[in-house]
Amino acid sequence: MPNIKERLDEIKNIIEKDAFYASSSLGGELNFHIFDYEPQDELKVRDYVRTLLDSYSHENSKVKPIEFDLFELILEILKEEKIGNNLLLDKAIEIEATSGTDRLIKALSPIFKPENITKIIKSKISNQNLVLLTGVGKAYPLLRSHTILNNLHSVLDNMPVIMFYPGSYDQKELSLFKSDIFEGIRDDNYYRAFRLVGNI
């Protein structure tokens, strides 16, 4: 069974093939992919994504990836929105401190509708041809991975998307943080993505 390094190393072999970008090769399916991994490998995956982005940063690169860290998108919104004279970020910190996380999630849910996040993602894409979604674990439960993917369908056309997912995906169900010692949090059913690399 391949280890995390071997599985990560396989990504370049996949995304450098022309067929990866041709939606026709998927039989008309969405060009969405999930790279699932053991949660304890999170830091290795983060390092890999940084290295991957650097390796394709030269002007003549055929592969032009852009990363969207879902947690960083949350922070970006919280730092830009205001309630009166106060940043929404400060208000969010106050709500969580005084009323708890559940109250904070309820208060912020109208702001973090998946369609709002996907609009931001769409607006930031220019000449890139590959979207990398990271920060899934950090963004939970304010953002749920399956709802983001569902809403990206309508805004990204045939551009390939890779979601780096700390948990397991069996092409039917997403289980966040699933590992040998934790059964995971059932994220939801999701059928429309392909596992990028097999065998965790």
The series of mean pLDDT values per 10 residues for the chain, 200 residues long, is: 88 93 62 94 97 94 95 90 82 89 88 87 92 94 86 83 94 85 74 81
| Residue 191, pLDDT score | 73
| Residue 112, pLDDT score | 86
| Residue 128, pLDDT score | 93
| Residue 25, pLDDT score | 47
| Residue 173, pLDDT score | 84
Q: Residues 110, 101: contact at Cβ < 8 Å?
A: no
